[in-house]
Copies of this chain bind each other. A is one copy, B any other.
C-alpha cells in the first residue's frame, strides 16, 4: 500500500470554492489561505431559515495507545455519504504539530480516508494553533509583568498573589524540558523568580475556549473570564482584570473561523480547534458544527478518545453550549482494541503492536467485550442511538471481526465493518447505511445532569453513571477548592473530568469495564473562560516528550522541495 502522503498527493482535489458553493457558503464568507483551504466566517453566512441536518458524533471504545482510527473512520464515513449521494460534512479537530514531529508523523486520517491537503493540515493550517499560543503567552507575559511591576511598586491593582498564579505557558512542541521551569531569574529588571511550566498548545484553556465559543463576541467575553490566579484575599483575578482580554481576542479573531478542506473524494471537511481530550473537551468546535448543520444533511463530528471521555463531554458540555442535540453516535471498535481491553496484551506507544496481539484469537476479542458494551451504554444513557463501526485493519481475521458484530448485536446495537482506510469511500458504505438508519430512529437526547446541581453531584453522576465507579473520594484540597469555586459563583459550570483515556476508570491499568473502584479526585481546577470545572483524577501529561528517535528525524524536504516523512 502507498504511504498516506503518496495517496494524499496523488489526489485530484476539487476546487475548494466549488466545495464551499455546494454548501451554500457565499463568496464573502470564504477567505482563501493557500489554494486549497478556505477560512469560513460564520458571521457572513445567513443560516436562519435553512433546514438542519442530522448530527452524528463519532466516538470509540477505550483506545489502545495507538488509537482506534477514529479520525479515519469519521473521514471515510463522510466519503461514503458522498458516494451514496448524501450531502455530508465532516467536522474534525486540527492536528497538533507537537505530536506530528514526535510519534505520529501526521493525523489527517489515513490511507484512502484522509483530509487534504495533508501537509497544510498537519503543519500550520491557517495559524489557529499559533494564535492560541500567542494569545495564551501574551496573557502569561502580562501576568508576570504584573508581578514585576507590583514588586517594583509601579502597579498596585489587582495585586495578584505570586504564590497563587496558575496560568502556565504553552508551545506546540513536545518538549519535556519545559514541563517544570523556574523563570524570572537574572537581575532586577528580569521579573520575579517563581516556579512555572509549559503545556502543549492543544492543552491550553484557550483551545478549549475556542472550541466552545459560539461567535466572536462570545470568544471575547470568555477570554475576559479566564482566571489566572488569585489576589492575596483569595479572589479570582481574570484576564479582564489585567487588561489582556481585548488583545487576546484581537490575536484570536481569525482563529474563530473554521477551516474548510476536503476529503480525498471531495466531501467537505471543517477543521477547527484542538485535539486535547484529557483535561479539555477534545471535540471539534461548536462554531464549525453549528455551521455545518445548516449546510448539509449529515454532520459527522469527532469526539476524542472513548465515549467515556470525548462523547460524555460532547453530550454534557458541548451540546449544552451549542443547543444542538445529536441524532446518533458511531462507536468505533477494533479487533486490536477489544483484545487490548481484555487485559491480555501489552501495547507500548511508539512501538509496533506485539505479535501475539496480531494472532487470530476471537476469544480475546470476546474477552474485551465489556468495554464496548459499557461505551454503548454510556451513549444510550444520553438518549442517543449507537452504531458500532468495526474498523478493519489488514491483520484482522474474519472470526475476530465477526466477534465484534456478535458483541454489538448482543448489546442491541447495529454494527458494520468499515474498511475505508484500505478501500476509500466504498469501504464506508455499509457503515454509512447503518448510520442513516440509526438517525431515522427517534433520538431523545438528555444530558446526564442539570447544571444547577452542586459540583459534587455532577462529578458523582459522571463517576458512577458513566465510569461505573462506586463513588468519589475527594482530597481535602479538592473539597476546599470545590467550596471556593461554588462560593465564587462557578458552581453552575459543567464538569470536564481529567483522567486517563486508557481506561474507563481513572487507572490506566484497569481494562475492560472496571467495577468495584472509587474515583479519586486529587484536586479541582477551574477553566472559567472555557466554561468548565475539571477535577484531576490521576496523572495527566499536559506536555508530551520526544522519543530517542522522534518522527522529526525522518521528516524532510526532497530535492523538489516536497515534504517527505509525514504519514
Residues of A within 8 A of B (CB): 31-35, 39, 43, 97, 101, 123-124, 127, 130-131, 133-134, 137-138, 140-142, 144-145, 147-149, 154-155, 169, 171-186, 189-192, 195, 216-217, 220, 243-247, 249-251, 253-254, 545-546, 548-557, 561, 563, 565-566
Q: A154: which B residues are within 8 A, CB to CB?
A: 548
Instruction: Tell me how far the C-beta of A102 lies from the nearest C-beta in chain B, rounded to whole angstroms.
Output: 9
Q: A182: which B residues are within 8 A, CB to CB?
A: 181-182, 185
> Which single residue of chain B is at the shortest CB-CB distance from A243?
B553
> Which single residue of chain B is at the shortest CB-CB distance from A129?
B130
Other-chain residue from B130, B176, B253 in contact with A563 (beta carbon distance below 8 A): B253
Q: A245: which B residues are within 8 A, CB to CB?
A: 556
Q: A155: which B residues are within 8 A, CB to CB?
A: 548
Instruction: Tell me how far the C-beta of A155 lies from the nearest C-beta in chain B, rounded to whole angstroms.
Output: 5
Instruction: Tell me how far the C-beta of A168 lies from the nearest C-beta in chain B, rounded to whole angstroms.
Output: 12
Please report the C-alpha to C-alpha distance between residue A549 and residue B247 in the assembled complex, in whole angstroms: 13
Q: A566: which B residues are within 8 A, CB to CB?
A: 250
> Which single residue of chain B is at the shortest CB-CB distance from A185?
B180
> Given A124-B127, A130-B130, A247-B552, is A177 in contact with B149 using a C-beta cutoff of 8 Å?
no
Contact A149 B548 (CB under 8 A): yes
Q: List 24 A-B contacts (CB under 8 A).
A: A31-B34, A32-B34, A34-B39, A97-B251, A101-B138, A123-B250, A124-B134, A130-B133, A130-B134, A134-B172, A137-B171, A138-B173, A142-B552, A169-B178, A176-B190, A179-B190, A180-B183, A181-B181, A243-B552, A246-B554, A246-B556, A249-B556, A250-B563, A250-B566
Contact B557 A249 (CB under 8 A): yes
Please report the C-alpha to C-alpha distance between residue A251 and residue B565 in the assembled complex, in whole angstroms: 13
Instruction: Tell me how far the C-beta of A116 lies from the nearest C-beta in chain B, rounded to whole angstroms.
Output: 16
Known: A144-B177, A171-B171, A179-B185. 19 other contacts (CB 8 A): A31-B34, A31-B35, A97-B251, A123-B251, A124-B251, A130-B133, A137-B173, A142-B552, A148-B176, A149-B548, A154-B548, A177-B192, A180-B183, A181-B183, A244-B552, A246-B552, A247-B556, A249-B556, A249-B557
> For chain A, what secondary structure do more than half of its interface residues adopt (helix, strand, loop), or is it mixed?
mixed
Among A142, A155, A172, A195, the most chain B Cβ lie within 10 Å of the Cβ of A142
- Can you list the 3 inter-chain pairs with the closest CB atoms, starting with the nearest? A246-B556, A177-B191, A243-B553
Other-chain residue from B189, B216, B243, B550 in contact with A145 (beta carbon distance below 8 A): B550
Contact B244 A173 (CB under 8 A): no
Among A123, A147, A189, A217, the most chain B Cβ lie within 10 Å of the Cβ of A123
Please report the C-alpha to C-alpha distance between residue A551 and residue B181 in the assembled complex, in whole angstroms: 28
Contact A552 B190 (CB under 8 A): no
Please report the C-alpha to C-alpha distance between residue A144 and residue B203 in the assembled complex, in whole angstroms: 21
Other-chain residue from B127, B178, B555 in contact with A127 (beta carbon distance below 8 A): B127
Instruction: Tell me how far the C-beta of A471 lies from the nearest C-beta in chain B, rounded to whole angstroms.
Output: 31
Q: A101: which B residues are within 8 A, CB to CB?
A: 138, 247
Q: A186: which B residues are within 8 A, CB to CB?
A: 179-180
> Which single residue of chain B is at the shortest CB-CB distance from A30?
B35
Other-chain residue from B43, B141, B173, B246 in contact with A141 (beta carbon distance below 8 A): B173
Contact A246 B555 (CB under 8 A): yes
Instruction: Tell me how far the C-beta of A566 lies from the nearest C-beta in chain B, rounded to whole angstroms.
Output: 8
Other-chain residue from B43, B251, B557 in contact with A253 (beta carbon distance below 8 A): B557
Contact B220 A557 (CB under 8 A): yes
Q: A144: which B residues are within 8 A, CB to CB?
A: 175-177
Please report the C-alpha to C-alpha distance between residue A169 and residue B172 in the assembled complex, in whole angstroms: 13
Q: A149: which B residues are within 8 A, CB to CB?
A: 548
Instruction: Tell me how far the C-beta of A179 lies from the nearest C-beta in chain B, rounded to whole angstroms.
Output: 5
Instruction: Tell me how far the C-beta of A287 lies from the nearest C-beta in chain B, rounded to whole angstroms.
Output: 14
Among A177, A180, A243, the most chain B Cβ lie within 10 Å of the Cβ of A177
Instruction: Tell me how far the C-beta of A137 lies from the nearest C-beta in chain B, rounded to whole angstroms.
Output: 5
Please report the C-alpha to C-alpha distance between residue A133 and residue B173 in the assembled complex, in whole angstroms: 10
> Which single residue of chain B is at the shortest CB-CB distance from A137?
B173
Instruction: Tell me how far the C-beta of A385 lies from the nearest C-beta in chain B, rounded to whole angstroms.
Output: 39
Among A134, A217, A253, the most chain B Cβ lie within 10 Å of the Cβ of A134
Contact B124 A131 (CB under 8 A): yes
Please report the C-alpha to C-alpha distance between residue A101 and residue B31 in the assembled complex, in whole angstroms: 26
Contact A246 B565 (CB under 8 A): yes
Other-chain residue from B171, B189, B556 in contact with A250 (beta carbon distance below 8 A): B556
Q: A180: which B residues are within 8 A, CB to CB?
A: 183-186, 190
Q: A145: which B residues are within 8 A, CB to CB?
A: 175-177, 545-546, 550
> Which single residue of chain B is at the shortest CB-CB distance from A256?
B561
Q: A179: which B residues are within 8 A, CB to CB?
A: 185-186, 190-191
Q: A181: which B residues are within 8 A, CB to CB?
A: 181-183, 185
Contact B176 A189 (CB under 8 A): yes
Contact B97 A553 (CB under 8 A): no
Among A124, A155, A251, A565, the most chain B Cβ lie within 10 Å of the Cβ of A124
